[in-house]
Amino acid sequence: MKELDLVTVLTVLHDILGSALFFGLPALAVLGIVAFVTTVVRERGLRARRLFISQVLGVVGGVLACCLMTRVAASGTVSPNGAADWLLFATVFGLGLAGSTILFYGVIGWFSRKSHS
C-alpha cells in the first residue's frame, strides 16, 4: 500500500466500525481521560481504594472490548487459533482494561465529589 495515508486508514476504519462506534469510542476515550486527569489534579494524587475498584471494573471493560471487536469484525464467527489471534485479543483486552479503568476512576471520582458537596 504505497500511498496509504491517514485519511484512507480512517475511512476504512469508519466503514468497519460504523459511524456510532467510529466517533463514539474516541469521544468516550477523551471524556474518560478528561475526567481522570481532572479528578487526579483536584485530589492531588490517586486514591488506592478507588483505583482498585476501577481496575476490577476495567477487567469487565476489557472483556466487553473483546466482545465488541468480535461482534464488529468477525461476521458472527470467533475462532482464535494462532499466536497472532491471541495477540490481537490480548491487545484489545489491554486497551479495554486500561481505557475503562481510566474512565471508571474519573466517573467514580466525579460522583464522589458530587456526593461530598
Applying CB under 8 A, the residues found at the interface with other proteins are 1-8, 10-12, 14-16, 72-82, 84-85, 87-88
Least distance to other proteins from the beta carbon of 62, Å? 18
Q: How far apart are CA 67 and CA 50, in angstroms?
A: 26
Q: Retrieve residue 56's grid coordinates.
A: 476490577
Cβ proximity to other proteins: between 78 and 98 the closer is: 78
Least distance to other proteins from the beta carbon of 56, Å? 28
Give the Cα-Cα-Cα angle 31, 61, 65 (nearest 5 degrees): 95
* N-terminal to C-terminal alpha carbon distance within the chain: 56
Cβ proximity to other proteins: between 14 and 42 the closer is: 14
Least distance to other proteins from the beta carbon of 51, Å? 29
Cβ proximity to other proteins: between 19 and 115 the closer is: 19
Q: How far is CA 88 from the centre of its chain?
A: 15
Least distance to other proteins from the beta carbon of 107, Å? 25
Cβ proximity to other proteins: between 9 and 46 the closer is: 9
Task: Please give the C-alpha separations between residue 2 and each of 5, 8, 46, 53, in angstroms, as whole numbers.
Answer: 9, 12, 45, 46
